[in-house]
Amino acid sequence: MTVQAFVKGMGDRVLAALALVALLPVVAGIALWIRLESGRPSIFRQLRAGKDGQRFSMLKFRTMVPNAIKLGRELALSEDPFGVIADDPRITRSGRFLRRTSLDELPQLWNVVRGDMSLVGPRPDLLEQVANYAPADRRRLAVKPGITGWAQVRGREKIPWEERFRLDAWYVDNWSLLLDARIILRTIAQLGRPDPEPVEDRLNIERARAARRGGE
């Protein structure tokens, strides 16, 4: 392990722990808001792929109705059951605010403290998405996933998945503490901006179709 990697690992956990303590009233207030508006649970847990594809339970404040995936399939909102569309009817009022301000990601500070995630890195994908990765796509799994990342500050949901893979691979190959600091500063500067129009995950949809055809 390099000195920079050691500093990143220790710094991530210390900063995440300090942030959790400082933001505890905010976290408690958001959890109460969600519960009063749409019931339990306030925290949404979902299995994601971490470093080297290891699965872990990623935490977020719930921003959709509790049965969002099932409802999306019933309403045929998108061929991608895990995707979000513009003006998605499944997103709650509190959820729209939390997504716009990125406050829905606050519980992931606990994932950082646990060592599942880093403050900066490629965003963790669903296990179903990772199962459809091409070999080159797995480059993004060489590091811990992050709360924010290079692809997030360069377009978030408005860029296609092929571009996300390219940006994440570039981050892995060019990582430094200085680059992480730049990404964190750009993330802070973007807080509160309107959400970009989400791009449907056509790449994952086509790969999932191919996998189903191959299994028939």
Both structure tokens of 126: 């669903």
d(Cα 131, Cα 45) in Å, to the nearest integer? 19
DSSP helix/strand/coil, 110: helix
| DSSP-derived secondary structure letter, 121 | S
In this prediction the pTM is 0.85
DSSP helix/strand/coil, 61: strand
Q: Rg of the chain over CA atoms, in angstroms?
A: 17
Count the Cβ atoms, other than its own, within 10 Å of residue 173: 9
Both structure tokens of 15: 């900063």
State which residues of the chain have pLDDT below 70: 69, 71-72, 74-86, 156-157, 192-205, 207-216
pLDDT tens track for 89-102: 888 999 989 988 88
Only one residue has tokens 């995630």, namely 117
d(Cα 173, Cα 153) in Å, to the nearest integer? 17
d(Cα 63, Cα 89) in Å, to the nearest integer? 11
pLDDT tens track for 120-140: 999 999 998 898 888 999 999
